[in-house]
Structure 1
Amino acid sequence: MSRVWIYLFPALCALVLTGVHQVEGMELFTSSELEAVNGTDVWLKCTFKSTHPLSEERVSVSWSFRPLGKTTEETFFHYQKSAFPPETGMFKGHAVWSGDIMRGDASITLQNVQFIFNGTYCCQVKNPPDIQGFVGEISLRVVEKVSFSEIGILAIAVGGSIGIVLLILIIYIVVRVFRRQEGDMVVEMENHKSKDQVL
């Protein structure tokens, strides 16, 4: 029995050491929600931590998109050694690599965002033997651009409303002052009459 144990012990140690420590979790960090104005650029920040050394050859990054109201995702951007931006589809010419693998940055930038870009963006990073523990998700909301003419119209409307309120307030105060003066004059005249009658 002891001879069998002598032969099995090294094999069991090798099995435990190789099986337990090679699979570990990757930590990802993203913003949960972002808002961008239609026609502008937005930075989709995704940073990561790995328990193993980083190298351009091993680390791979994938970005996928899930439109609002949908359950399925479609990968549109990939990075390994270099960026592979989309060559077809709605993200063609819009998705640009802005990360730095050696600094734990897997971010991309969406240029000239459109309303169809509303949805959830998922960042996935792999650094073998680290496997991804979580998917970083960013919910993007693209909002209407406010033009200078719209701001001007809004300013005029607000200014006009304030002006009307001030005018009504001034008229009210002037009327109150005149009524008070009129009342004071009536009282003074009555006092004067009563003095004349006494004399």
Structure 2
Amino acid sequence: MYYLMYRIWPLLLLGGLLVPGVRHVNAIEIYTTAEVEALNGTDVRLKCTFTSTHPVAPKTLTVSWNFRGLNSGNDESVFYYHEVQYPPQSGRFKGHAVWSGDIMRKDASITLQQVQPTFNGTYSCQVRNRPDVHGSNGEIILKVVDKVTFSEIGILAIAVGGACGVILLILIIFVAVRYCKKRHMENDIEMDSREQEWKDPTVW
């Protein structure tokens, strides 16, 4: 009996250490754009979507948006949602932050209206859907500029559009040249026919 307990004891100890680590931890996955550029004075939508392992319900879900300035280590509340919308009542975002999401479609986005240079910084989107409360926050870096710069996609679109325009122009020129040549040949044939008729002595 003593020998049997001596053999089983290490297994029980090992099992006690491993079992707590096997517990499944639910986690919310949040998806945001890494960086957004907006023209000064315009509106910009900060998109934040999520997935949850539990059904989404207004009573169990909360959304928190926070802001951290370029030269500040403190977070500032931008927007809060739980069953109803709680826009900021004071601070730089008062009258500027509005809800533009749909939690039933797993969208926790907000829109910043008439953005200003003081809005430059990092915005974090936090979603919790009890009991699914674990997971990292989504972060968006907003850059408010006086002139929007072209992105790589925009440059590519312009390049493709320009190439298509050049090809179309060449095609039009080619068709026009062929048409002119054809008309010129028809006129030459018609003039030759008239000259032959004039020179033919049998024609009265």
The sequence identity of aligned pairs, in percent, is 59
Q: TM-score, normalization: structure 1?
A: 0.62
Counterpart Cα distance in 1 of 2:134 and 2:89: 26
Is 1:121 the counterpart of 2:123 in the alignment?
A: yes
Q: Which residue of 2 aligns with 1:111?
A: 113
SS at 2:55 equivalent: coil
Q: Which residue of 1 aligns with 2:32?
A: 30
Q: Which residue of 2 aligns with 1:88?
A: 90
Determine if contact 2:70/2:121 at 8 Å carries over to the other structure.
Answer: yes
Q: TM-score, normalization: structure 2?
A: 0.60
Counterpart Cα distance in 2 of 1:105 and 1:132: 18
Deviation at 1:145, TM superposition (A): 5.0
Q: Deviations over 1:73-109 (max 9, x none)?
A: 1222100001100011110000000000010000000
Q: Deviations over 1:101-134 (max 9, x none)?
A: 0100000000000000000000000001111311
Residue type at the aligned position of 1:34? V
- Aligned pair partner of 2:67 in 65, 68, 84: 65
SS at 2:28 equivalent: strand
Residue type at the aligned position of 2:29? E
Counterpart Cα distance in 2 of 1:77 and 1:113: 15
SS at 2:57 equivalent: coil
Counterpart Cα distance in 2 of 1:26 and 1:145: 36
Q: Which residue of 2 aligns with 1:132?
A: 134
Extract unaligned runs of 5+ from structure 2: 1-18, 149-204
Deviation at 1:20, TM superposition (A): 2.9
Counterpart Cα distance in 1 of 2:144 and 2:99: 20
Q: Which residue of 1 aligns with 2:153?
A: none
Determine if contact 2:30/2:49 at 8 Å carries over to the other structure.
Answer: yes
Counterpart Cα distance in 2 of 1:132 and 1:43: 25
SS at 1:139 equivalent: strand
Deviation at 1:72, TM superposition (A): 1.9
Counterpart Cα distance in 2 of 1:69 and 1:139: 13
Q: Deviations over 1:150-194 (max 9, x none)?
A: xxxxxxxxxxxxxxxxxxxxxxxxxxxxxxxxxxxxxxxxxxxxx
Determine if contact 2:77/2:88 at 8 Å carries over to the other structure.
Answer: no
Aligned length: 131
Extract unaligned runs of 5+ from structure 1: 1-15, 147-199
Determine if contact 1:125/1:132 at 8 Å carries over to the other structure.
Answer: no
Q: Deviations over 1:44-76 (max 9, x none)?
A: 000000000000111000000000122221222
Determine if contact 1:97/1:109 at 8 Å carries over to the other structure.
Answer: yes
Residue type at the aligned position of 1:133? G
Is 1:20 the counterpart of 2:2 in the alignment?
A: no
Root-mean-square deviation (CA, aligned residues, Å) is 2.2
Determine if contact 1:124/1:132 at 8 Å carries over to the other structure.
Answer: no
Residue type at the aligned position of 2:70? L
